[in-house]
């Protein structure tokens, strides 16, 4: 073939076809979803408060999505529901409040879509982030000690914000571990992850 | 015959839209696009065949050869140390 | 060498040996080709030098990331090396740093050769290379310093990406200028693939940047655009460059035309039509409309047509010539890559099948598949291309057969071990994940040996890359004694002027 215009038109049209189908069509079909208000007046999905929105930025800046997913697949496509990671599959409307969609493609660590339902203890989260070995020995999650501050205990009174760590990972005597604003925001974000409420398009069995 | 019956029954079970306003706009884009691109692809093949593009293909595969690197010569090998 | 394979030097017409030196009288073709090669020298070498730098940097990032997966305390105190960031730096360095620059460099050389025209406006690809390198470097620095966007394949922050787009726009413009200047009778199949890749990539990248980075769309539309982009970057940019190389180098090295040109046309157009619809197979079971997922699964299966066409073509062209794999380094890498193209494509097609995907999704199986494609196909293909092209640019022969062989075996065995351990490990991981009764931490422990094997394989691959880097530097500096070989290494004279 030596006809450049013909080749060009062919390349253009085949690509345009997929661009219309997989980029523009989703934009038209589900690019402007509105929250659902249920009979109790609850707005679903729940909006994120300001601190959780800051936490989302921390989640994105540290690349958490590369080990953790945030999507529950339907029962016939995986055992996510059976595993207790959610009570129904997640749908497009569940994600309209996030600035960066972190669906994830790896489950080096567990799925997080319903962390705010399953793991509500902030202290657990702080310890787990500071060093995952504290709460989950043998975990391969990296330690995020840089999201915490090690500071001397003043006047012998430890701060109310200090996280209680015993044993091998405890700070040296006279020091305490306090979460930085980044860690506080991140945990707030994690606690806001709830996708277990029924929606018209996603009833709970 | 049963194959046709299956298709017919499935088609009857679909809730066909009654007016153009019931059709989600992007379906028009997708189905329309499929018809448009499919038809133009068929036309392009017909045009190319008529213009003789599909004759003597193998000649084009010889484009990369030349008089001094003709068909039948190998043009790469491991370096060989020159013997003094 | 077997007698039936005629080496180039033996077939050059009116060859004259005078005493110790050997000079060859040139035909017009040889002069023309040498001049074309010479015109590509600076741009292509700039791209290749960048490529090798990013390859080594990306390999280092890969090893750090790999070790962190099984030993998370490794370098655990450094916030800029946390796994999620080092992994992203690795991907950007090897995909955009190594992959794209090696591909553009090879593409530029192939374009000039196939258009039978000297490289026009070299300033365009040179500036493009500078912009590209700055863009990648700033992007990776941004990722590691906390500005990662955490969107797969698009982690680089918004302040670095316009340079990338601008750089590629220059390449696309250059490509069009070359096509206008061409002097060849017919457009060989490799040019269609290169033209396609150079045209599609800016559209892909521009769309992704606008809809994900600059004005992010709402909700899971982001996921759809993300995976439309990422899959098409593989299939409509890297794959065409890889196939363009295979379609040129296999026939060119063995001296036999492509088996069926007709099949190569079918392969090209079916790839163009079907590949671009595959993207949603990364989101099977995900929160997007099922029609999109189903369309992608169907398109993935339709890919059997171009993949089998290409496989048949490559195999039938090579049939009877496999002995040459022992004697040609470029052919070795290129044929290895071509075979792995078939393997990874067929594997990818099966992965789009829902019943397999429910096991393999979210596991190391996918990572293994990614490296089967991008490393064992694309990277090995680029190595082969560079082994053929670089001597013709610097008028020097590769200084050491042994080092070439070390490079080949370290990378071939290393990547084989890596992909093998991740594939087996990934299947085990997936089957265990699918069984809800197996606690998650048990699965984490199960994966340890496979991840450790992967780190070991990474060391092997790194050795191969370092050896290649050294070889490349030796070529640029023209280290070693003058050697003879069929890659026009004898002094080329044209009325007294040395080229």
Q: What is the ipTM metric for this complex?
A: 0.94
User: Whole-angstrom Cα distance, residue C386 to residue C367?
Assistant: 26
By CA distance, what is B81's nearest residue in C? C483
| pLDDT given for residue C4 in this prediction | 59
| Set of chain B residues whose Cβ sits within 8 Å of the Cβ of A28 | 25-26, 29
Looking at chain A from residue 135 to 174, which residues have their Cβ under 8 Å from any Cβ of chain C?
Answer: 136, 138-146
- Residue C26's pLDDT is what? 55
- Å between B18 CA and nearest CA of chain A: 20
A112-160 tens-digit pLDDT: 999 999 999 999 999 999 999 999 999 999 999 999 999 999 888 888 8
Q: What is the percent of chain A where pLDDT is above 70?
A: 99
CB C88 within 8 A of CB C61: no
Name the residue in chain B with its Cα closest to that of A29.
B26
B34-73 pLDDT, tens digit per residue, is 788 778 878 877 877 787 766 777 778 888 888 778 888 8
Which residue(s) pair with C6 in the sheet? B73
Distance CA C324, CA C4 (A): 11
Residue A5: is it exposed, middle or buried by C-beta count within 10 angstroms (0-12/13-18/19+)? exposed
Residue A92 with chain C: CB contacts under 8 Å: 219-221, 287-289
Whether C228 and A74 lie within 8 Å, measured CB to CB: no
DSSP A171: P
- Which residues of chain A lie closer than 8 angstroms to C225, CB-CB? 23, 26
R_g over Cα of chain B: 28
Inform me whether the C-beta atom of residue B31 falls under 8 Å from chain A C-beta atoms.
Answer: no
What is the per-residue pLDDT across C351-387, written as a single tens digit (0 to 9) for each?
A: 999 999 999 999 999 999 999 999 999 999 999 999 9
How many angstroms separate the CA atoms of C499 and C492, rounded?
6
pLDDT, tens only, C237-284:
999 999 999 999 999 999 999 999 889 988 999 999 999 999 999 999
CB-based burial, C48-85: b 16+ in 10 Å, e otherwise: bbbbbbbbbbbbbbbbbbbbbbbbbebbbeebebbbbb
Instruction: Collect all residues from A whose CB is shorter than 8 A from any CB in B.
Output: 1, 3, 6, 9-10, 13-14, 17, 20-21, 24-25, 28-29
State how beta strands C21-24 and C15-18 pair.
antiparallel
CA distance C277 to A21: 8
Q: Does the beta carbon of B40 lie under 8 angstroms from any beta carbon of chain A?
A: yes
Task: Work out the mean pLDDT of chain C and round it to a whole number.
Answer: 90
Would the CB atoms of A83 and C367 count as touching at under 8 Å?
no
Report whether C433 contacts C363 (CB < 8 A): yes
């Amino acid at each position: 073939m030596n006809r450049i215009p013909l080749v060009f038109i062919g390349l253009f049209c085949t690509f345009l076809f997929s661009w219309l189908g997989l980029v523009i069509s989703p934009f038209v079909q589900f690019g402007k979803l509105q929250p659902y208000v249920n009979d109790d007046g609850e707005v679903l999905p729940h909006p994120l408060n300001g601190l959780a929105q800051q936490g989302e930025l921390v989640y994105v800046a540290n690349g958490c999505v590369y080990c953790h997913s945030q999507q529950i697949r339907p029962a016939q496509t995986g055992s996510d529901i059976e595993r207790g990671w959610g009570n129904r599959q997640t749908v497009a409307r569940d994600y309209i409040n996030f600035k960066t969609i972190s669906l994830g493609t790896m489950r080096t660590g567990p799925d997080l879509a319903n962390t705010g339902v399953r793991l509500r203890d902030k202290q657990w989260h702080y310890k787990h982030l500071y060093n995952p070995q504290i709460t989950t020995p043998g975990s391969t999650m990296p330690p995020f000690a840089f999201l915490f501050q090690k500071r001397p205990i003043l006047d012998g009174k430890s701060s109310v914000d200090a996280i209680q760590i015993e044993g091998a990972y405890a700070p040296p005597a006279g020091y305490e571990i306090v979460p930085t604003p980044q860690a506080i925001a991140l945990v707030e974000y994690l606690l806001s992850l709830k996708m277990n409420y029924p929606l018209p398009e996603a009833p709970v069995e | 015959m049963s194959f046709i019956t299956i298709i017919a029954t499935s088609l009857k079970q679909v809730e066909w839209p009654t007016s153009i306003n019931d059709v989600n706009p992007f379906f028009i884009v997708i189905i329309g696009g499929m018809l448009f691109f499919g038809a133009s692809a068929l036309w392009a093949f017909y045009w190319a065949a008529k213009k003789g593009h599909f004759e003597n293909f193998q000649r084009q595969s010889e484009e990369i050869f030349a008089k001094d690197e003709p068909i039948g010569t190998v043009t790469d090998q491991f370096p060989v140390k020159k013997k003094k | 060498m077997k007698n039936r394979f005629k080496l180039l030097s033996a077939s050059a017409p009116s060859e004259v040996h005078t005493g110790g030196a050997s000079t060859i009288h040139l035909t017009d073709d040889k002069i023309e080709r040498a001049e074309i090669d010479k015109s590509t020298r600076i741009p292509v070498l700039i791209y290749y030098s960048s490529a090798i730098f990013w390859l080594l940097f990306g390999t280092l990032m890969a090893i750090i990331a790999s070790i962190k997966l099984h030993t998370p305390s490794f370098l655990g105190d450094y916030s800029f090396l946390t796994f999620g960031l080092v992994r992203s730096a690795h991907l950007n360095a090897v995909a955009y740093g190594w992959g794209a620059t090696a591909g553009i460099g090879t593409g530029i050389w192939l374009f000039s050769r196939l258009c039978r025209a000297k490289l026009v406006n070299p300033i365009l690809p040179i500036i493009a290379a500078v912009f590209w390198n700055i863009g990648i470097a700033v992007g990776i620095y941004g990722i590691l310093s906390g500005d990662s966007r955490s969107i797969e394949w698009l982690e680089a922050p918004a302040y670095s990406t316009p340079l990338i787009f601008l750089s590629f726009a220059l390449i696309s413009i250059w490509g069009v200028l070359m096509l206008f200047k061409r002097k060849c009778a017919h457009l060989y199949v490799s040019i269609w693939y290169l033209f396609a890749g150079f045209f599609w990539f800016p559209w892909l990248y521009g769309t992704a940047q606008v809809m994900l980075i600059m004005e992010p769309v709402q909700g899971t539309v982001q996921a759809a655009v993300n995976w439309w982009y990422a899959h098409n970057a593989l299939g409509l940019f890297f794959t065409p460059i890889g196939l363009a190389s295979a379609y040129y180098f296999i026939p060119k090295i063995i001296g036999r035309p492509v088996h069926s040109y007709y099949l190569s046309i079918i392969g090209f157009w079916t790839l163009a039509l079907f590949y671009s619809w595959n993207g949603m197979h990364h989101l099977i079971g995900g929160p997007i409309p099922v029609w999109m997922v189903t369309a992608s699964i169907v398109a993935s299966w339709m890919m059997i047509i171009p993949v089998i066409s290409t496989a048949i073509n490559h195999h039938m062209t090579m049939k009877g010539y496999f002995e040459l794999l022992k004697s040609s380094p470029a052919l070795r890498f290129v044929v290895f890559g071509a075979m792995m193209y078939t393997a990874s494509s067929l594997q990818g097609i099966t992965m789009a099948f829902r019943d397999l995907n429910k096991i393999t999704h979210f596991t190391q199986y996918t990572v293994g598949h990614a490296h089967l494609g991008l490393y064992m196909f694309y990277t090995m293909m680029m190595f082969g291309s560079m082994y053929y092209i670089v001597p013709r640019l610097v008028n020097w022969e590769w200084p050491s057969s042994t080092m070439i062989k070390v490079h080949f075996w370290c990378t071939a065995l290393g990547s084989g071990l890596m992909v093998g351990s991740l594939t087996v490990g990934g299947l085990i991981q997936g089957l265990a994940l699918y069984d809800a009764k197996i606690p998650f931490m048990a699965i984490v422990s199960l994966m340890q040996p496979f991840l450790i094997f992967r780190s070991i394989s990474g060391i092997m691959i790194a050795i191969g890359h370092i050896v290649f880097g050294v070889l490349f530097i030796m070529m640029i500096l023209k280290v070693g004694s003058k050697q003879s070989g069929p890659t026009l290494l004898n002094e080329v004279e044209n009325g007294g002027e040395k080229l």
